Structure 1
Amino acid sequence: MDTPLLALTRRRIGAPSGPSAESAAAQNMRQLIQLRWIAVAGQTLAILAVHFGLGVPLPLTEMLGVAFALGAANLFATLALPRHRVQRGEVVIALLVDMAALTLQLYFSGGATNPFVSLYLLQVVLGAILLPPAWAAFLAVASVLSYALLSVRYAPLVFPEGLIAETAHLFAIGRWIAFVMVAGLLVLFITRISRNLRARDTHLADMRQHAAEEEGIVRMGLFASGAAHELGTPLGTLSVILADWRRMPGIAADPELLAEVQDMQSEVQRCKAIVSDILHSAGQPRGEAMASMTAGLFLDAVAEEWQQTHPHLSFEYDRSGAGAAVIAVDPALRQAIWNLLDNAAEASPDSIILDAGIDDGMLAIAVRDNGPGFAPDALGRVGQIYQSTKGAGHGLGLFLAVNVARRLGGRLEARNRKAGGAEVRILLPLAKAER
């Protein structure tokens, strides 16, 4: 049985990924791009409706030119987004571009008297959500200065004689439309941004948890390798003593006693093999490629070795459902399965089951027992270090199994069986050739 604790600290295959700070910035930029398309379409429709629908003359060339330039900038951002990292400065520039476009449109359509001047609030709120305080304050100051400038410098609207009496009513409608736009866009955008930020925070919390688990594994690995080095001398001494005993005439003449000495020699050799595996594992380079082999051959070896150490236990083994599947394996996976089998044997000394099959494109290695099962409050903490379902121990077996499965790109699942007992499954991705 191998004990490669330090091997678990190598690079994981298919490590869980999530929205990092960088990807959250990219998602926020994507939301800004979508919002800008809405702004381009809204500006174009509003310009055409006011000019042709209400008959209020507007500088179409300038205003439609601003909308076109904003659309062109948005198209460039859309095409460039998947090909490069999104930096915080790009979000600042995007909001400033939007503010500049809004300022120009308001300048050509009545300045601060335009009811849509309240759209500045949308830019300020978005800046407060997406940017650090300093940049958010800068954006707020820019909007205040733009508003102040539009109060003194702007192209006034010229209403036809037939609309002069309706001016107050039209401005009230415009303010209502602007309020609805700001409220609706804020709810839509802030909801999405909040979801992105929560996902990022969750991912960062998971990464911190994984880092803590890695640190725990490293500490255990260092302790195990040190202990293995220290055990080498006493195991060597025991091996020599047992060899001498085996040659003693009194023992050699007693078949029962000789068999016991041979059993002790076998166990000592097994202990020496474990020590060698620990030291070999500790010396392996980080990120070393793991071998691929069929699940049947791998599980056959694991089951045979484990059953030899538990000859009096009723052990059912069936791997017919996944014998030809090819998976990436290393000694840590064998150790993880041994740990699960040992736990099952302690919970259910009469019989346990080991089987394997294909579940949703993954190899599912299941260990079942007829014991009391997991306590309800323990199921949610299965695999956490120092969380044990037994009266003694610290849950290291399940903890290591969880990390082995995660490192190999899979996961561990635990549940209580309806018929009684517990079931723990390791799900591993198949090699590419088998998919």
Structure 2
Amino acid sequence: MTDLSGALLNTNRRSNWIRLRTFIMLRWIAICGQIVALLVAQFGFGLELYYGLCYMAVGVSVTGNLIATFVFPENRLLTEKENMAMLLFDVLQLGFLLFLTGGLHNPFSFLVVAPVSIAASLMPIRSALFLGGLTIVLVTALLEFHIPLRTQNFFILRVPDVFLFGNWAAIVIALFFSSLYSRRVVSEMSSMGEALAATQMALAREQKLTDLGGVVAAAAHELGTPLATIKLTSAELMEELEDNSDLYEDAALIRQQADRCRDILRSMGRAGKDDLHLRKAPLSTVIEEAAEPHMGRGKEIIFDHFDLLDGPEILRRPEIIHGLRNLIQNAVDFAKTSVWVETECSTESVSVRILDDGPGYPPHLIGRIGDPFVRYRKSARDIKKRPGYEGMGLGLFIAKTLLERSGAEISFANGISTLGDRSAETGPRGAVVEVIWPRAKVDAAMNASAIGKGDNPLHQS
């Protein structure tokens, strides 16, 4: 999972995810808008502009789009430098048009925000800052350096200076706000998508391990007959080769190894059949199965099963086992000496609490526990205690996602457990995770169709 997480965290790869077709389509839309605006200004309002230069600027965009369309395949993924060049061209082309059409007196001057917002959501921070800074310089220069808007009577159209400065301030603020907003949203969506992909991989792995039992059982059944034949044939050879000690020993070795293969397949087949048919199990058994890989890691895991004398048999769903296993792993990782796993059952709900005697969750991250790729600055004490640990919150995110998929509600907290006298005797706890299912979601008796059993009808011969 570490290698996967490291690859997924490379957010700079987003700058290589955009197809050339996307930029071509967006630029055609911008070109159509620019042409319409120029035609309305020329024939609708009769403004006196340098239309030759204006249409030349639009023509450069048209030429660039045509070259990109016929020279390069539209499904080509652009590199970071190519994306930067495309956005830089759009900013400069729009800036030149604004210079020819009144600068910030032109109400379309706000369009310079669009390329910077796209850069903020796609490009590395350095490239986005460069394009944003260049746009601010360009907008500032347009305050003084521009060709005024004139009517046919050579009346200059301009806004008062206070509104002109307001336009400049609004554009600069919009650059910062829209860039930060779009970058934050896209980064959040990207991280969530990557984490969900990791969750699906974890669930698929758990499902494969579950299904492997059926394959093992089938293999043990199919190989039983050939091994029985080998054993029978080797026994007959041993009878015929009693006078030849060397060949007799070889035949005896064949029979011995056939018996060994039979014993191995018998044990594998038993395990496979158990896994194949054990679609349900007592709640306490499922909890202990989830904790089993972490039982020998030097921390004591204490199971407290309250009110389970008439406890339910629950579905052995891979997401439940894997999710609880991740939560228990996290508790074992941070516990000092002990981890408590407490289960309760009522007529309405089934709950599991996992507690440890470690330092607990960082208080400032309590509200973000379960989000993917949550990092916090570790103290020197934490680094010394766990020098090789690079927690990113992905394990807790996977556990939370899988358990919520099974219908559970999960809460994270720090403090002292209040589950009764037995819990109070253990004293203060560190981190506390509580998982609560509606009983109807996990009780095997209420989900008979999920167990996969069916009637075996009798056939008359």
Q: Same fold (TM over 0.5)?
A: no
Normalising TM by the smaller chain, what interval? 0.3 to 0.5
Higher relative contact order (CA 8 A, sep 6+): 1
TM-score normalised per structure 1: 0.43
